[in-house]
Amino acid sequence: IKAALAALLTDPDDALRQVDELLKSAGSDRTLTAKARYARSRASAMKGLGQQAAADAQDALAAFKAAGDVPGQCDALRALTEARVIEGRPEEAAKEVEDALSRFKAGGSALGEAAALLAQGELLSAQEDYGGSADKATAAQERIKQVQDADAAWLLLRLSEFQMSSWKPEEAAEAAQGALKIFRGLPGGAGKPGEGAA
């Protein structure tokens, strides 16, 4: 999975090939299958294949949900939102993100809520609603403060990236500094996604 995700940066075709091999060998390993579907969704999105990206993101989201893997759900939700934008179906993305936000709220997952709010912000930004986008980013950051683990730190880095793309360098720096503070406080230093408790 790591090699396939790394290949996304340079060669989405290679990433797709690697993920397809992983899927063939995954067998009944649900976690590996979910991660591979997520990776394939990202690779398909990079190639502009919105329909394929959305199908894989939906499969990954369902598998992560069945496993109770909130960080995985957060990643798959972002991939699904991106795929829907590529498909030209932002209304469907908005409904899916709102459903996820409701589910995370009902389950008491601050990390999940933050990820869904950030996905809403990214979606609003793609629709050029920059005021609404900024409000969602602020709300996401408030939820992230409730969680102090590696997954929260990674989500803060994603928020930082989003803030930079929104031309908000001060907010981006604040989010990145928050992530660094969390990473430094973890046993052994910087953690890997999925090592924290959601």
- What phi-psi label fits residue 108: left (phi over 0), alpha (psi between -120 and 50 degrees) or beta? left
* Spatial contact of 20 and 2, defined as CB atoms under 8 Å apart: no
* Spatial contact of 81 and 122, defined as CB atoms under 8 Å apart: yes
pLDDT in tens, 79-91: 999 899 999 998 9
Average model confidence (pLDDT) across the chain? 83
The residue to which tokens 């939820």 are assigned:
143
pLDDT of residue 198: 36
pLDDT in tens, 141-157: 888 888 888 888 888 88
Half-sphere exposure at residue 101, Cβ-oriented, CA atoms within 13 angstroms: 19
CA Rg value for the chain: 16
Average pLDDT, integer, range 162-169: 81
Could you give the CA distance from residue 94 to residue 79 in angstroms, rounded to a whole number?
13
Q: Could you tell me the two tokens for 164?
A: 């930079």
Could you give the CA distance from residue 32 to residue 29 in angstroms, rounded to a whole number?
6
For 156, the 3-state DSSP assignment is helix
Confidence band (pLDDT; 50, 70, 90) for 8?
low
> What pTM was estimated for this model as a whole?
0.76
Confidence band (pLDDT; 50, 70, 90) for 52?
very high
Which segments of the chain does DSSP mark as H helices, in order? Answer: 2-7, 12-26, 30-46, 50-67, 70-87, 90-107, 110-126, 130-144, 150-165, 169-185
Could you give the CA distance from residue 118 to residue 141 in angstroms, rounded to a whole number?
8
pLDDT of residue 195: 45
For 168, the 3-state DSSP assignment is coil
